[in-house]
Structure 1
């Protein structure tokens, strides 16, 4: 898996850099793009919720899928722009906050469409996200301290099974395929939990090698 890691090695990355340099570099800040993506993501969650309480279910599902994709695209653009302009610590923190808030909001919105059947896989998904981000931040803080003065990245990032692209795919499928939401939510929760374990193992291996 790890689609994000694969995309970095393709021509798509260079195409994005050229697009950002030409159209965005001197016109908008990375944080503004982050907040725009955040707004689109929350709007997506609202549309998912509205799809279950109005007579325009299909229309709201289509709108939510469109806004989800736009939110993700803006997230990709803000990361590309930040790397070109030099990443800031606050920008990295803001990006993490917005990404997780959007993901959690969408999951809550999905659960609200059928709470009786989706509450447990929804809770396990949220718990898995908490575990994953806790290990991610703990590992990032520790490795950043160990590598003080050596690493110029704003936030230490470790790759895992479930990253931003995989999360988008799951959330998008859950949105457009209501009958499969319970299965996809359980599968999502399991993969996010496995990602947390993977990062825990990565932290153990990385820190053990430094202490020897």
Structure 2
């Protein structure tokens, strides 16, 4: 929800113009994406290792900084891509790295406490269901629409988008005593988002377009 609200704001336009002009000739979008992946994985590792030292908050602070840097890189890789012309591979790499970081952070969090195992499993399962619905909708939408889009990957609006996910993950890092509740809430909201996207697909595609039935072959 937050992502779609920001996408219509003047702040987003100013932010993209600033960073796009500053760095688009200095580094490629894919390199930025991989840097975000690197810092995100390092942050997840720090979370996992925090259980082995007496003052775990030292590593949690380090992990928080690393994760924030990772998420910052994630916000500017797309900006630079749009300045240089986005590519299919770049969009796919971005999605892969984003989910890898999110899953790694959740694994790092649940590795610290056996009580977090079940909400952690449900959180990971919800992510799988949500990304499946999201990618399926994107694939079908590309078959129906030949017009060029600003992004190479189609993003349908949902309760839990990237910004909400970032907020939850940061909250889980800095509030260890709230992790059980936060993981359950996260899992439920992500699952509801997957259902929301299925509903969106029903209304978007359950009709005839240009006199043709919506028979989509996913085998290719």
Q: Same fold (TM over 0.5)?
A: yes
Instruction: Give the gaps of 5 or more residues in structure 2.
Output: 212-220
Contact 1:40 1:68 in 2 (8 A): yes
Instruction: Give the gaps of 5 or more residues in structure 1.
Output: none
Residues 57-82 of structure 1: CA deviation (Å, up to 9, x unaligned): 01111111111111111100101111
Find the partner of 1:154 among 149, 152, 155. 152
Q: Compute the displacement of 1:16 (Å).
A: 1.6
Q: Given the two structures, how large is their TM-score scaled by the length of structure 2?
A: 0.91
1:88 aligns with 2:70: no
Q: Compute the displacement of 1:20 (Å).
A: 1.8
> Aligned equivalents of 1:105 and 1:9: distance in 2?
31
> Aligned equivalents of 1:164 and 1:195: distance in 2?
12
> SS at the partner of 2:157?
coil
Contact 1:72 1:168 in 2 (8 A): yes
Find the partner of 1:164 among 162, 166, 181. 162
> Aligned equivalents of 2:21 and 2:142: distance in 1?
33
Q: Name the stretch that deviates more: 183-192 or 15-24.
A: 15-24
Q: Aligned residue for 2:181?
A: 183
Q: Aligned residue for 1:173?
A: 171
Q: Compute the displacement of 1:50 (Å).
A: 1.1
> Aligned equivalents of 1:11 and 1:68: distance in 2?
26
Q: Compute the displacement of 1:100 (Å).
A: 0.2
Residues 132-160 of structure 1: CA deviation (Å, up to 9, x unaligned): 0001111111111121x223442222111
Q: Aligned residue for 2:197?
A: 199
> Aligned equivalents of 1:136 and 1:114: distance in 2?
31
> SS at the partner of 2:27?
coil
The root-mean-square deviation of aligned C-alpha atoms, in Å, is 1.3
Show the 5 A alignment for 1:34-113: 34-113=33-112
Contact 2:20 2:79 in 1 (8 A): no
Aligned length: 209
> SS at the partner of 1:162?
coil
Q: Aligned residue for 2:217?
A: none
Residues 112-171 of structure 1: CA deviation (Å, up to 9, x unaligned): 0102x1000000000000000001111111111121x22344222211110110000000
Q: Given the two structures, how large is their TM-score scaled by the length of structure 1?
A: 0.95
